[in-house]
Amino acid sequence: AMSSHVKLRKEKGTLAEYEMQIKEVRSQLSEQLKVLDVQVELRVQLIQDLNEFLRRRAEIELEYSRSLEKLVDRFSSKIRHPKEQQNLKKDENLLSPVNCWYLLLNQTRQESRDHAALGDTCSAHITVRLTHIAEDTGRLSKKSKEVGLQMQDELLKVTSELQTAMKTYHQYHTDSLSAEGKMKEAEKLEERHMGKSADQGVSQSGGDPKQQRRSSVKKMERMKEKRLVKLQEAQLKCTKARNDYLLNLAAANAAMNKYYLQDVCTLIDCCDLGFHLSLGGALRGYLSAQRRVQQSREEALVVLDTAIQGLDPQSDQKKILEMNNSAFCLPFRFEYQPHEGDQVCEVSVEAQVRHELETRFQQLQSRLSSVTIETEEVNKTLRATLKALLDSISTEEYSSPETPQAGQSAEQSRASAPDPTGNKSSLAKKRANQQESESFYFNKVKEYLSGSNLISKLQAKHDLLKEAIEKAEAIDSDPTRLQSSQSVRVRRPRPCSQYNHKLFTGDLLTFVESSGQQIPLVVESCIRFINLHGLHHEGIFRVPGSQSEVNEIRNDFERGDDPLTDSQGDHDIDSVAGVLKLYFRGLETPLFPKDKFNDLIECVQVENSLERACHIKRVVSSFPRPVLVVMRYLFAFLNQ
């Protein structure tokens, strides 16, 4: 009895443990459905939020598009020409800044259209698609839940069948054990009965003991046979129940494995059916619309950048002159108006005025050389100032605030930005320097224009006098007008035929003051000859000329004559260059005085070009003015 009680309690514990497992499975299956429902709710909420976001984004894009359109219309209405209002396209006659302005308006108008198209795509296409996705998600979730419930019911059915099979197996096994116990009891009874029968046979000598023993044995055998039959039947039922239980156990484990390892994934796939593809398609539509806007903007910016690169002041100047030809065309020439039948219409070089005109011509020539040198110096300063001014303008920085990094708010970006006070002070200083440079530049422009205008007037008078004097000299050299049959070489008379001071190996300052020549004749004549015949001569100033010819030309200059005036290139160019070198090399006081040599060397060692020029100018400014005039004339020639 004690053993049966222990077995029963153990059996109840096994059943309770099994029922606890089944209860946990049911709870887990219920939790699975709740998780799937939560995921569906999250997706629906995500779609709704995304839909609302795109709807509001569309409103913002459309409002931005309208604002851009109004902005373009506001400035387009200021364009004076109707044709330009209709088409703000690139025109060959448009000035490059105007072309940039029109392209900027065009780009803004196109940007307005692009943002309107983006807003329409968000509101009319993508939001509709997202609404369909939300509907599909709800509908598919219901069907998936039905499938999940069916799968869980089948799984629970298998567990229920397993529980029934286990109980049946336990019951039949209990019956088998009970039959086996009764069989053992019958065998024990038979053994005890056989022992008692033997004892009774010895003690009871009377009667018929054999007959009693046979009857007792038969009873025991019949009882034993009955119990054996029941034992065999119980064992057979137990075996069948055990087999059925093992089969159901294998099926239940297989069903559990399949459900948790395969069916759950299939169930989730049913819930996800087409969701990611549909959402990806909708977002790709949004991305495609954004890329179209970006591509259109980049193309417009490329066109605008090309127009900016094409900003050309020279081309604009030409267009302005062509479009306003009547205002800028050269007016009629002033014609000579003779007075009351006067037939002379050119400069007369008669004997009475010839010396005066030649003297005036020489003065004009000297004045023209001096003004040309001064104007050339002003022009060099003007070009350097213009280059520095343009470089300053081109390198001027217009910094924009940096784009905040990912995860950085606008306040954090402003806090990390550099203090604008320093930038403002630096910019103000640059602006002040620029305005100062502009003032200096325009002063130099005035000086240059004044000097160049004077040069043009002096050059016109110089050329006219030169032509008249050459005609007079040609008439004088006519063989029919001369007694000699040979051509006589006519030299320009000089103010004096002999100098009071040495030309070569003399003092430049003393010679200029005594002769009245701002540029010594030897310098002016040699440079003019080299300009006419030797600018492209190879080895100029390097190859020595004929020493005899150099001495001959030198002696002519010492006498006050100009041996290079009437020559048509019959002198050797290297000899003429040698005379010029000989003159400067033989000066008593060098062109650059020895006491200023170290100062000039220090100036050359300054690295900054502008500072170096200022230092050189400061040193050279201390030279006498006549020496500076000759120096400018010489370096203007060497600069060629």
* Structure confidence at residue 321 (pLDDT): 81
Give per-residue burial for 36-64: e unless 16+ CB within 10 Å, then b: beeebeebbeebeebbeebeebbeebbeb
Q: Token digits for 151?
A: 């799968």
Among the residue ranges 89-98, 474-483, 580-589, the one predicted with the least confidence is 474-483
* Structure confidence at residue 199 (pLDDT): 58
CA 144 centroid distance within chain? 51
161: part of which helix (H) or strand (E)?
helix 127-203
pLDDT band at 1 (very low <50, low <70, confident <90, very high): very low
* Structure confidence at residue 490 (pLDDT): 39
Tell me the per-residue pLDDT of 194-204, one tens digit each, with 9 for 90 and over: 766 655 554 55
* Structure confidence at residue 240 (pLDDT): 93
Residue with the larger pLDDT of the pair 414 and 522: 522
Give per-residue burial for 270-303: e unless 16+ CB within 10 Å, then b: bbbbebeebbeebeeebeebeeebeebeeebeee
Mean pLDDT calculated for residue range 474-488: 53
pLDDT band at 494 (very low <50, low <70, confident <90, very high): very low
Q: Is the separation of the CB atoms in 314 and 165 below 8 Å? A: no
* Structure confidence at residue 81 (pLDDT): 54
Tell me the per-residue pLDDT of 303-331, one tens digit each, with 9 for 90 and over: 999 988 888 888 888 888 877 877 877 77
Tell me the per-residue pLDDT of 124-174, one tens digit each, with 9 for 90 and over: 889 999 999 999 988 988 888 889 899 989 989 988 888 899 889 999 999
* Structure confidence at residue 116 (pLDDT): 93
* Structure confidence at residue 417 (pLDDT): 59
pLDDT band at 362 (very low <50, low <70, confident <90, very high): confident
**CA–CA distance, 493 with 559 (Å, rounded to integer):** 12
Tell me the per-residue pLDDT of 51-77, one tens digit each, with 9 for 90 and over: 999 999 999 999 999 999 999 999 988
Q: Is the separation of the CB atoms in 86 and 146 below 8 Å? A: no
Residue with the larger pLDDT of the pair 488 and 561: 561
Share of the chain above pLDDT 90, in %: 21
In 482-608, which residue ranges form alpha helices assigned H by DSSP? 508-515, 521-533, 547-558, 573-585, 597-604
Tell me the per-residue pLDDT of 276-301, one tens digit each, with 9 for 90 and over: 999 999 999 999 999 999 999 999 99
- pTM, full prediction: 0.56
* Structure confidence at residue 421 (pLDDT): 65
* Tally of residues, the chain: 640
Provide CB contacts within 8 A for 24, sequence distance 6+.
Answer: none
* Structure confidence at residue 131 (pLDDT): 92
* Structure confidence at residue 342 (pLDDT): 74
Q: Token digits for 283?
A: 């977002």
Residue with the larger pLDDT of the pair 535 and 384: 384
Residue with the larger pLDDT of the pair 248 and 2: 248
Domains defined along the chain, listed by start: 11-87+95-194+216-294 (1.20.1270.60), 347-394+428-476 (1.10.287), 508-639 (1.10.555.10)
- Tokens 């004997």 belong to residue: 351
Q: Is the separation of the CB atoms in 441 and 388 below 8 Å? A: no
* Structure confidence at residue 564 (pLDDT): 86
* Structure confidence at residue 203 (pLDDT): 53
- Write the burial class of residue 352 (CB in 10 Å: 0-12 exposed, 13-18 middle, 19+ buried): exposed
Q: Token digits for 606?
A: 């300054």
Tell me the per-residue pLDDT of 551-586, one tens digit each, with 9 for 90 and over: 899 988 888 888 887 655 578 888 999 999 999 998
* Structure confidence at residue 119 (pLDDT): 92
Share of the chain above pLDDT 70, in %: 83
pLDDT band at 430 (very low <50, low <70, confident <90, very high): confident
pLDDT over threshold 50, residue 497: no
Average pLDDT, the chain: 82
* Structure confidence at residue 486 (pLDDT): 39
